[in-house]
Amino acid sequence: VQASDPPAAQLLRTLASFVPESTPFVEHRLIPSDLKHEPRRNALLVPAEVDSQLKPILDWLIPFWDRRRRKEEGNCCHPPTRVYDVVKTGAWYWVSLCNNRYCCQKGRSHKSNRICFSISVSQGHVRQYCLDQDDCKRGFTQFEIPPDVLAQAQVDCKR
């Protein structure tokens, strides 16, 4: 980013998906001064910090979701599906993936929107949600967690 560039060009250059750490954030009177670039996340297949209750479910869900996509879209050369983020709220886990945007509501992958899952171990199901409300008005698609996977998650929870 060059100080001599127009503010709009400075802003666009700093909003790229990968910005080298040394790149200064654009300065403009309308942009809060505390905004900064976020460090790039290293997404893992199943992050190490995932608790023992969720790990067997993610070990099942990721290949399951890859097979769904392959069935609908063919055996293209997709990068491996990875867990991007996991948030636990009460009895629910919210999981977002990267490298896989396959959406059951749409019947194909989204071009830019991520999908997310809510997982309830106590209810034994996974719901796939879509963040594109214009294309995917049905809300969610629900899948039952296989009994053996659910049993493993519940055993791990008691340890």
Query: DSSP for the chain?
Result: --TTS-HHHHHHHHTSS---TTPPPP--TTS-TT--PPPPP--BSS-TTS-TTTHHHHHHHHHHHHHHHHHHH-S--PPPPEEEEEEEETTEEEEEEES--EETTTTEE-SS--EEEEEETTTTEEEEEES-TTT-TT-EEEEEPPHHHHHHHHHHHH-
Residue range 13-31: mean pLDDT, rounded:
67
Convert the pLDDT of each residue in 124-133 to its tens digit.
999 888 766 6
Q: pTM of the prediction?
A: 0.63
